[in-house]
Structure 1
Amino acid sequence: MVLYRYRHHLPFAAYLGSAARLDVPKDLRRDFEAATQLVEEADRIFRRKRAEIEQLVSAATREEVADSVEALRDEIDREKFDPEAFTSAYERAGELVTKHLGRWQKSELREYVESIAVALAIALLLRAFVVEAFKIPSGSMLPTLQIQDHIFVNKLAYGPLVPYTGYRILPSLPPKRGDIIVFEYPDPNPHAKSQDFIKRVIALEGDVLEVDGGHPIINGWRVPSCRVGTYEFTEGSDSYKKRGELFVEYLGDYSYLTLYEDVGFSGKQGPYRVKPGETWVLGDNRNNSSDSRAWFGGKGGGVPDANIKGRAMFVWLSFGADSVTWDRIFTNVMGKPRLPKEADPELVRGIERCLEQRPAQTLPPPAPPQ
């Protein structure tokens, strides 16, 4: 409410007024917006309460009020703004409207409450159906997503879910291979607290998936990759240096980074058959990710379509150990792979080399019959 009250003194306020007039002096911006609202409110009262007004207000007074409102409207719309004429018209219209139509006017507090309620309703609708913010809590998607990255997720990508119904508006499923999706973890315990996960789509309905040392094999086809080099990194606020092998992996339309930490399972997992209506996902940090391979007691499992919330868009805020990581802001999560700015330049060149070597075949063969 405080910000709302002093909004006319904020930077760029001149560009955000009711009529976006640049010639309104700073000390009159608040009055100018109030005058615009006064004209709109007077029009609304005359339109909606006409019968009551005709009974309680004389014709001469009604005409006087209407003339003052029209004069104020003319000053608001005047090609060259005249502060003195505007102030005179505003004061006269305000006095007459308050005196004769005051019983039908909204209070300032009510206007504040209504403005806040409308803004809150819009924010809730946007969050439910269009875009939602998520925070990255773990290193399972390193190096694509860093711990303490804050991202926006596009909830229109696969059709927004209507809350509490399971119904999806204009569904567009399944996701594309390589998409990074946010979803509700398919916990087998119906009483468990809901958790949101973020992983990369690897296998779709009907596919047979195997994972060999973290490298996916779909329908007998090994997803192509290119070794970048050895990557040293820290995880979140932990100052302990970790090491792993960095690769560029190619799947569908995407080329993205995958990391294989030195400590991890190096054997073969699967085969797994993806059930109808499900999507199998892996973390980009292949040896340190709770993903489809590990769920359901190690038997593996997919993400049901109903659990998918949306596709990752971009980083809107990111924190390092002590401060904001400015270079990550507006990073396109689904865009060209990149490392943090402190990464070894040789690795950056290695990524460019691998991107130049992108193979022609980046999609698996059809799923084998069951």
Structure 2
Amino acid sequence: MVSLSFNSLSPPPSQNRKLSESAYVNGTLKPITIRGSPPTFVSAPGRRIIAVGDLHGDLTQTRSALEMAGVLSSDGPDSWIGGETVVVQLGDILDRGEDEIAILSLLRSLHIQAKSSGGAVFQVNGNHETMNVEGDFRYVDPGAFEECIDFVEYLEEHDQSWEQAFVGWIGVSERWKEDRRASQGHWNPWNLVQRQKGIVARSSLLKPGGPLSCELARHAVILKVDDWVFCHGGLLPHHVAYGIDKMNKEVSYWMQGLHENNDGPQIPFIATRGYDSVVWNRLYSRDTTDIDYSSWKISSILEETLQAVGAKRMVVGHTPQFNGANSKYNKKIWRIDVGMSSGVLHSRPEVLEIIDGKARVLRKIDDSTLSQAMDYL
């Protein structure tokens, strides 16, 4: 059954839904607990969960999605207003847009704020994060190269810790961009000197062991929150058999430029390369008419995967859904990449909301405060 509700000038409809009483102790929610480094298994009793798909460097759309979800203030500074909500962003923050580092900085800032309220912001890495750590810059927007130049100069000019500088970037990035454009004009694709400078800056930040790559290494490629599993492309039975915590550690070590045998970082193939790797897999996201597998076969693979990992549902991004976020295979897979970035489809922002195991899509209808909620019961 599908029901539609429209709400305005009031909190997001989710905030009025009753949470499970078992999540409380003495009238307060039980604390969030995390296992794994990077985080792999999260227990978040009673929390409202918001899942956000691919952002691809579009800061305006990112803010719009988070505001619609009721976790980001819409006036003034980028303030967390989500209380004990847990946000999971599904990767592909990099490429196709010009405000990549600003978005990463925003999410880290919000996570710090959320922790003080009993909430959290998690990220999983997607294929565009792993591509950039490999040095594959094919999909980098010219403005993103310029952001890298600005950010490197900002780090050099501010004698402070990485943590302070990185978290603070969201507050100054737009001013730096405006100042650069006022003094230099817009990016000139034929300015080979400037382009080379951008490539050098990006390489220094994102090579294995680089500061931005080490920041990405804080995040998993697979995250399990209660009974839900989140990943960019899709989890398969052989991934679970290999070990999701093991894969997360291997990707993190590689991004940090580390290796257990100290003979150079090894690219974790099963997680980051190949059509059936965790960040590239599209099995659950494409129409069955596009692939050789029948619907029942895919449903069987999905069920086997969920049973193996001990989850009831999976949420993925990676493949734009032209008709909006949706579910398939008896509501056990949710596909939430809607191509909201201006560098992709520039579609209206949508997020997935999960409360007490039930999910619905929140959709921005127009520039007003209205939102549309689709409940899947």
TM range (shorter): under 0.3
Structure with a larger share of its residues in helix = 2
Bigger relative CO (Cα 8 Å, ≥ 6 apart): 2
Name whichever structure is richer in strand by fraction.
Answer: 1
TM-score, structure 1 normalization: 0.20
**Which one has a bigger Cα radius of gyration?**
1
Question: What TM-score comes out, normalization by structure 2 length?
Answer: 0.20
